[in-house]
Amino acid sequence: MSEGRGEHVTIDAIQSTQEDIVKPLVIGIAGGTGSGKTTLTRALMESFQSQVAVIYHDNYYKRHDDLSYEERCQLNYDAPEAFDNDLLATHLDALIRGEAIECPVYDYAAHNRSEETVIIESRPIVIMEGILIFAEPELCKRCDIKLFVDTDADVRILRRMRRDVVERGRTIESVQSQYLQTVKPMHELYVEPSKRQADLIIPEGGTNLVALDMLVHRIQNQLAPKSA
């Protein structure tokens, strides 16, 4: 009988532990290049601070050590197959379980994954940001809230030009060529249609203060019962 009681206590303890585990709220933020996804992400980070963990789709570009720099420059980085989505899904699952992950880091100037990694701890809010995340069903289904940042194309290309040249060390010619050859056609083929997967479309992203205020209150309300 004592063994039976001991086994019963162990099962109860496991069940209690499982009930105490709080699943993070996973927020997906998608939208075209230069749409304002990062501005929205930073605004949410400022609102919720240490409660937020962020994972960027761009860091999950596939590694291409087998190719020369010139060959890597010719790859299409704006199609879903450019990403290691299986690894990202695995890492999301780990964060959802409350585990830390070793996130890859992408080197934009070299067009390849760097040797560095970053440890990301699980938090009550996990934000996944990326242009093509809603084009991948396995990533979509892991999101509790799906946000699409919608911005005019002319504004987006100007923002991308400034970002890639100033922050990522690329030439104006290379940015222009990539935009015309892959960014624009892939946006029309994959990104724009993925807008249908969104729960909420936000014009201008983090600069849309009305939408941001509504979103912050929505997240607060969803987190409140979990922290009570």
> What is the CATH number for 134?
3.40.50.300
Q: What is the pLDDT of residue 166?
A: 76
Rounded Cα–Cα distance for residues 227 and 222 (Å): 10
DSSP per-residue string spanning 28-89: EEEESTTSSHHHHHHHHHHHHGGGEEEEEGGGGBPP-TTS-HHHHHTS-TTSGGGB-HHHHH
The residue segments making up the domain with residue 67 are: 24-211
Express each pLDDT in 40-85 by its tens digit: 999 999 999 999 999 999 999 999 999 999 999 889 999 999 999 9
Q: Percent of the chain having pLDDT more than 90?
A: 61
Task: With respect to residue 10, please indicate whether it lies within any of the assigned structural domains.
Answer: no
Nearest to 129 by CA among 33, 35, 38: 38
More confident residue, 3 or 165: 165
Q: Is residue 223 part of a domain?
A: no
Give domain status of residue 206, yes or no: yes
- Whether 11 is in a domain gets the answer no
Alpha carbons 178 and 79: distance in angstroms, whole number = 12
**Domain annotation covers residue 13:** no
Structure tokens at 167: 């922050």
pLDDT of residue 5: 43
Alpha carbon 102 to its chain's center? 15
Cross-strand partners of 129? 29, 56
Question: What's the pLDDT score for residue 227?
Answer: 46
Residue 224 placed within a domain: no
DSSP 142: T
Considering its fold, how many domains does the chain have in total? Answer: 1
Residue 131: what pLDDT? 94
Residue 219 lies in a domain: no
What's the average model confidence in pLDDT over 95-116? 94
Report whether pLDDT(18) > 60. no
Q: What is the pLDDT of residues 145-183, one digit of tens each?
A: 999 999 877 777 777 777 777 777 778 888 778 788 888
pLDDT at residue number 86? 97
Q: Return the higher-pLDDT residue of 12 and 28.
A: 28
225 falls in which pLDDT band (50, 70, 90)? low
Q: Is residue 2 part of a domain?
A: no
The pLDDT value recorded for residue 177 is: 81
pLDDT mean across residues, the chain: 86
